[in-house]
Amino acid sequence: MDHSPSRHGQWSSRLAFILAATGSAVGLGNIWKFPYITGENGGSAFVLVYLLCVAALGVPLMMAEVMLGRYGKQTPINTMRMLAKKAQAGQGWQFLGWAGTLAGFLILTYYSVIGGWTLGYVFYAVSGRFSGLSGEGASGLFGNFVGSPLVQVGWHTVFMLMTMWIISRGVRRGLEKAVTTLMPALVVLLLIMVGYAMTTGFFLKGVAFLFTPDFSHFSETSMLTAMGHAFFTLSLGMGAIMMYGAYVPETTSIGTTSLVIAIVDTVVALLAGLAIFPIVFAHGLEPGAGPSLIFETLPVAFGDIAGGTLLGTLFFVLLMIAAWTSSISLVEPAVTMLIERFNVTRLQASAWVGLTAWLLGFATAFSFNVWSEVTVLGMTFFDHLDFLTSNLMLPLGGVGIAMFAGWCMTTESTRTALGLHQGPWYSLWLFLIRFVAPVAVSIVLLHAVGAF
C-alpha cells in the first residue's frame, strides 16, 4: 500500500476529516427530513431501528468507501481503475468511479438551486419579511420566490460561486478551512435554536413527538424508510466520501472515524427536530413534510415571536451552512478528475466544473416556473434528475462499493487498509459488507423505484 499522501493534498488531522465528512453528510435532509420521518414512523421506535440500520449498513459502507479512497489516493475513477487492476477484477469496475463522480456533479446542479433558496430566505429573515406573516402569506411568499426565474437563477449563481470559491482554494486552504469553521458554527446555531425551543412551553411535546415509542405507527414501510435514510444520510455512493478518503492520513482509524461521523450526523438531525417541532407546536402549525415545513411553516412562527427576525436569520444561516458543506463535497471528485485527466490547475478545473454545473442548474431553476408545465411521464426536469441520482445512481454505487470491497479485494489487503488485524471486528465488517449491505441497499433501490 502506498503511504505517500495524495497529490491533491491531505487533511491535517483526524478531526479535520471528521468535520469534512460530517459536513458532507449533514445536509438539508438532516434539518427537515429526518425529524419529520421520525415523528411519522413511531418516534423512538423508528430512531432505534434507524440506528441499527446505520450501524449495520451505513458505517460498514462508509468504512469501505473511505478505505478505497485512502488506498487509491486519487479520484474515484483512477482509484477504481488502479484497485481493479491490482485485484485482477476487470476494468469494468472503474465505471463505479465514473458513476459516483457523475452522480455528485448532477446532484450539485440542483442542490445549488435549493441552496440558493436558503440564501434567499436568510435575506428575507434579515429584512423582516416574516413579521406578522399568515400561513397564506408564507405560501404566497414561497410561491413568488420559486416562481421567478430571475430570482432562482440569481441565488443559484451566488450559491455556486460560494461553493467553487472554497473548492478552488484546495484541500487545506479551502475544504479544511471551510469545514473547521462552518461545522462548529452549525452546531452552535443549532444549540441556540434548541435553547429557544425550550422556552416555548412545547419543548416536551416536541421531545414526545420525536422519542415516544409508538409501534402502531411503525410498519414495513418504516423499516424501508429507516434503511434508505441510513444509506442516503451519510453521502455514500456519490464519490464524495471516497475522494475525502484519499486525503485521510495513514494513522487515522477508518472504523472509529466512520462511527463518529455517523453518530454526529444522527445527533445533528435529532437536535434539528428538537429545535423545530416545539416552535411548530407552539404556534398550532402542522409538522408538515418536506421543504414546505422549512419555507412555509416556520416563517409563520418566526414572524409571530419576539426576536423572530434574529431567530429566523440564525435558522436560515444554519440551513445555508448545511447546504454549503454538502455542496463542496459533491463537486470535489469532478474537479480532481479534470486535474488528473487534463493536468490543469485547481482554479481552472473549478471554473470549468462550476460553469457547467451552473448552466445545467438553469433547468432545475426553470422547473419551478417557466418549465413547470414541461413534463415527461408526469415529472419535471428536476423530478427526473432527483429520481435518477437519488433512486438509481446512489444505491447502485453503494451496491458496487460493497461488492468490490467485500468480494474483489483480498481479505489481507482490506484488513491491512482498515487496520483491523486482530479480533472479531474485521470478521463482522466483512460479513456486513459482503452479505448485509448489498442485500439491504438492493432492497432500498427496488423500493425507491417502486418495485415493491
| 423-445 pLDDT per residue, tens | 799 999 999 999 999 999 999 99
CA–CA gap between residue 275 and residue 248 (Å, rounded): 33
Does position 322 have pLDDT exceeding 60, yes or no? yes
- pLDDT for 289 equals 54
Helix (H, G, I), strand (E, B) or coil at 146: helix
The reply to whether 439 falls in a domain is no
pLDDT one-digit tens code per residue, 76-115: 999 999 999 999 998 899 999 999 999 999 999 999 999 9
Does position 288 have pLDDT exceeding 70, yes or no? no
CATH of the domain at 355: 1.10.4160.10
Reported confidence tier of residue 290, pLDDT bands at 50, 70, 90: low
- pLDDT for 210 equals 86
What total number of domains does the chain contain?
1
The reply to whether 162 falls in a domain is yes
Q: Which residues contact 359 (CB under 8 A, 6 or more apart)?
A: none
Percent of the chain with pLDDT over 90: 75
CA distances, 292 to each of 156, 248, 350 (Å): 19, 38, 33
The reply to whether 361 falls in a domain is yes
Reported confidence tier of residue 2, pLDDT bands at 50, 70, 90: low
Contact in structure between 66 and 257 (CB atoms under 8 Å): yes
Grid cell listed for 381: 426536469
Residue (of 245, 139, 242, 229) closest to 444 by Cα position: 229
CA–CA gap between residue 109 and residue 394 (Å, rounded): 16
Q: Which residues contact 343 (CB under 8 A, 6 or more apart)?
A: none
The reply to whether 369 falls in a domain is yes
The reply to whether 452 falls in a domain is no
What is the number of helices (H) and of strands (E) in the chain? 22, 0
Q: Which residues contact 188 (CB under 8 A, 6 or more apart)?
A: none
**Secondary structure in 3-state letters for 262-297:** HHHHHHHHHHHHHHHHHHHHHCCCCCCCCHHHHHHH
* Count of beta carbons in the 10 Å neighbourhood of residue 86: 14
The CA-based dihedral angle spanning residues 63, 68, 72, 73, taken in that order and rounded to the nearest 10 degrees: -40
Average model confidence (pLDDT) across the chain: 92
Does position 52 have pLDDT exceeding 60, yes or no? yes
The reply to whether 9 falls in a domain is no
Residue whose C-alpha cell is 433558496: 117
Global pTM value: 0.94
CA–CA gap between residue 269 and residue 250 (Å, rounded): 30
pLDDT one-digit tens code per residue, 230-251: 988 999 999 999 999 999 999 8
- pLDDT for 126 equals 96
pLDDT one-digit tens code per residue, 111-133: 999 999 999 999 999 999 999 88
Phi, psi of 220 (to 5 degrees): -60, -40
Does position 421 have pLDDT exceeding 80, yes or no? no
Does position 419 have pLDDT exceeding 90, yes or no? no
The reply to whether 417 falls in a domain is no
Does position 220 have pLDDT exceeding 70, yes or no? yes
CA distances, 132 to each of 9, 129, 235, 316, 397 (Å): 50, 8, 38, 18, 47
209, amino acid identity: F
* Count of beta carbons in the 10 Å neighbourhood of residue 272: 25
Residues counted in the chain: 452
Query: What is the mean predicted confidence (pLDDT) over 136-140?
Result: 91
The reply to whether 177 falls in a domain is yes
Query: What is the mean predicted confidence (pLDDT) over 297-315?
Result: 90
In which domain, by residue range, is 362 found? Answer: 14-393
Reported confidence tier of residue 213, pLDDT bands at 50, 70, 90: confident
